[in-house]
Amino acid sequence: MTPSVVLYTKPGCHLCDVAREVVEVVCAEADLDHAEVDIWDDPFSADRFADRIPVVTVDDRVIAHFRVDPDVLRAAIGAP
């Protein structure tokens, strides 16, 4: 089963820009797609993550917030 990677962001967030780069690189290495959700477009996500943005989930499990460690993301998606 292919892991589901989601990056939760909000506009104007400089940490989100850094996290996006990490997610894009790691997912590209693993030939894996990812989704990005602007929390202001999704009330549930806004309530859940507003104070921890950016947040990265893999299969709905939070694996990072604020800063994304590429090795932690690789391990979470099962990439070498």
pLDDT at 2 over 90: no
Number of structural domains found in the chain: 1
| Closest CA relative to residue 19, chosen from 41, 39, 10 | 10
**Cβ pair 59, 34 in contact under 8 A:** no
How many residues would you count in the chain?
80
pLDDT at 80 over 80: no
**AA identity, residue 21:** E
Task: CATH number of the domain at 12, please.
Answer: 3.40.30.10
Rounded CA gap, 65 and 63, in Å?
7
**What's the confidence (pLDDT) of residue 1?**
77
- Which residue range is the domain that position 16 belongs to? 5-77
Using one digit for the tens of pLDDT, what is the confidence trace for 22-55? 999 999 999 999 999 999 999 999 999 989 999 9
